Chains A and B, each alone.
Chain A
Amino acid sequence: MVPVNKALRTLGVIAIGSLVVSLCAILAIGVSKPPSILKAIQNGKAQTTEGLLPAAHMEISIWPDSMRGMHGAHGGAHPGFVSYGPTSHFQVPAHSVVTITFKQYDSGEKISNPYFAKVHGTVDGSMTLDGKKVSGIDPNAVGHTFTVHGMNTGQPDMFLSIPLPPTDEDAEPEPNGYAKPHIITATFITGAAGHYIWNCEYPCGDGSYAKFGNAMSTGGYMSGIFDVVDANA
C-alpha cells in the first residue's frame, strides 16, 4: 500500500468522522430553536429595604395551549401543550428590584406539594392577587407556579416561587378568546449576575401518576432559562 495513499485515506476518514460529529452537533444544538429573550424593562428607581435600587418590570402570561407566544401561529409541534409566554427565556437586571406581572389563563386543581401554594422569595413574602396582598393561595386550587432556582456554586443562591391561581369557572372570555385571568404581581430583589432556570411546580402533564411528562418535561413550555445579568450587558 503506497504510504501517501494510506495517509490520505486516513485523513479522509478523520475528516468524514469529524464532519459527522459537527453535523450532529449542529442538529442537536439547533433542533429546538433557542427562544427569544424577554428582557425586563427598566423604569427608574424604587425605595426598598435594601436602599434605593434600579427598578424593572416584566409581563408573563400562561396559556392553556401553544397558540400564543413563541411556538408559532399554529402552536408548533405540540399545540395542546400549556405554554408560558411570550417566550421561555427571561432576563432581569442584577442588583435591582424587579416586578413581574402574571396573567394565568389556564385552569387548575389541587397541588401535590402545598409548599408551592405559598409565595417564596419576594421582598416581603407576599404577592398581589388582583390588587390584594396575599402570601399564598388555596392549595386545592392552583393553576401553575413560576419557580426560579439554579445551581449552587459560582453564583448567588436564588429561589423564587410564585403560585398562580386558576381562572374562575365562571370567568368571562376576553377578546383574545381565553377566559379572564387573575392578575398577579410579584416583586423581588436580584443579587449579582447568575444563570438560573425556572419551571412550573404544578404537575399537569402526562404520565400515569407523576404527571410531569409531556409539556412539563419538554423544554420551552413550562420550563426555561432565567438570567440575571449586569445592567450594562
Chain B
Amino acid sequence: MLSETSEDTTKQSRNRVGSFLSRRDVQQAIRAWVFWAVTLGGLGYLLIPHLMTDSASKTMDIVKSTFMAFYYTSVPVAAVVLGIATQTVLHNRHAGTVPPPDDNPAIETNQMANIVWVVISSALCVFLLVWGLVVENVVAEPSRAANATVVNVTGQQWIWTFNYPAARKDTNELYLPVDQPVIFKVQSKDVTHAFWIVQMGIKINANRGEITETAVTPNKIGVFDVRCAELCGLLHAHMQTRVHVVSKADYEKWLANQGSVEQWPAS
C-alpha cells in the first residue's frame, strides 16, 4: 500500500482499540470497574435516600436530586480509580524484602490517556457547572415571587425569634402557609448565626448589622426543624426551634389570633 485510505486508518484505530480492549490486564481492569460501579451505585441507591432528611419544599427536592445526580455521575469516575487500583493489587503483587525485578514497561507518558482524561474531566466539570447554574436559578424562584410572605428572622444567643411585619406579630416558632412563597429577612443581634430550615434545604447566615435574605416555598404540611448552623457560643447546639407548615385557612386563623401571646401547645 503506497498510501493509506481513510478506511484503512479507521480500521487501524479500530484494531488498536480492539487490541487494547482484548488485552488481559485491560479486561481485568474493566471487570474491576464494573464491580465497583455496581457496588458503589447500588449502595448509594439503597442507602442515601434513607439518610437524607424528609423534603418539605421544591428546593429540598432539588437538593436531593442534585445529590443523587452528582453521586451517580461520580460513581463511574470513582470506579475507574478503584478499578485500576484493584486490578494492580490483585494481579501484580510482589512481596518480600527484595525489590521487584526491573522488568516493567518504562511508560513515561501516553498522549491518548492524557487527552481522554482531560477531555472527560472537563466534560464532567461542564456538566456539574451547568446543572449547578440551572438549579441555582430554580431554587431562587421563591425569592422572585410577587405574592411572597415576608418574615423577619432574628437570631441571638441562643434563640430564634420571628416577626411577621404585615400582621405585626412576634413568635418564637414559625408558622407558614403551605404552597406560599416566603422570603426570610434574617439578622442577628450579636454574633454570626446561620438560619437553617433543615427539611426545606435553605440556609443563610444571620449577621449583625446586615439583613440577609433567603426564600422558599413549603409544599408539605407538617412540623419541621430550624437549627443554627454556625457556631455561636455556649449553647449553639440548643439553638433550635420549629416550623409549622399549615393549610392556608389554619394560617389565617393563627395570624388573626392577636389575643394572648403564645403558650406552647401540648403537642
Contacting pair A197 B238 (CB below 8 A): yes
> Residues of A contacting B156 with CB < 8 Å?
112-113, 201
> Residues of A contacting B208 with CB < 8 Å?
209-210
Contacting pair A157 B242 (CB below 8 A): yes
Contacting pair A125 B260 (CB below 8 A): yes
> Which of B158, B163, B262 is close to A120, meaning CB atoms less than 8 Å apart?
B262
B266 sits at the interface (CB 8 A) = yes
Contacting pair A219 B267 (CB below 8 A): no
13 contacts between A and B (CB under 8 A): A112-B156, A112-B189, A115-B163, A115-B172, A121-B264, A125-B263, A149-B238, A149-B241, A151-B240, A157-B242, A159-B264, A199-B158, A199-B235
**Sorted from nearest, which 9 A-B pairs have the closest CB atoms?**
A210-B190, A125-B260, A125-B261, A212-B157, A115-B161, A152-B240, A112-B189, A115-B170, A197-B238
| Number of chain B residues whose Cβ lies closer than 8 Å to a Cβ of chain A | 31
Who on chain B is nearest to A218 by CB? Answer: B234
Contacting pair B191 A223 (CB below 8 A): no
- Which residues from 153 to 173 on chain A have a C-beta closer than 8 Å to any C-beta of chain B? 153, 156-159, 161
Q: A152-B240, A203-B190 are in contact. Are A120 and B261 (CB under 8 A)?
A: yes
Q: A201-B156, A223-B234 are in contact. Are A152 and B260 (CB under 8 A)?
A: no
CA distance A176 to B132 in the complex (A): 66
> Which of A118, A149, A209 is close to B159, meaning CB atoms less than 8 Å apart?
A149
CA distance A42 to B31 in the complex (A): 72
Contact with B along A183-197 (1 / 0, CB 8 A): 000001101000011
Q: A151-B238, A152-B241 are in contact. Are A124 and B260 (CB under 8 A)?
A: yes
CA distance A122 to B263 in the complex (A): 6
CA distance A173 to B240 in the complex (A): 40
CA distance A44 to B112 in the complex (A): 86
Contacting pair A135 B161 (CB below 8 A): no
Give the B-binding residues of A (Cβ under 8 A): 50, 112-113, 115, 118-125, 135, 147, 149-153, 156-159, 161, 188-189, 191, 196-197, 199, 201, 203, 207, 209-212, 216-219, 223
Who on chain A is nearest to B233 by CB? Answer: A217
> Residues of A contacting B227 with CB < 8 Å?
152
Contact with A along B150-161 (1 / 0, CB 8 A): 000010111101
Contacting pair B234 A219 (CB below 8 A): yes
- Which residues from 205 to 249 on chain B have a C-beta closer than 8 Å to any C-beta of chain A? 208, 225, 227, 233-235, 237-238, 240-242
> Residues of A contacting B157 with CB < 8 Å?
199, 203, 210, 212, 216-217
Who on chain B is nearest to A150 by CB? Answer: B238
CA distance A191 to B241 in the complex (A): 17
> Residues of B contacting A209 with CB < 8 Å?
190, 208
Contacting pair A191 B266 (CB below 8 A): yes
CA distance A121 to B266 in the complex (A): 11
> Residues of B contacting A118 with CB < 8 Å?
170, 261
Q: A119-B261, A158-B264, A159-B172 are in contact. Are A201 and B159 (CB under 8 A)?
A: yes
Q: Give min CB distance, A199 to chain B, whole Å.
A: 6
Q: A50-B266, A150-B238, A151-B238 are in contact. Are A159 and B261 (CB under 8 A)?
A: no
Contacting pair B233 A121 (CB below 8 A): no
Contacting pair B172 A120 (CB below 8 A): yes
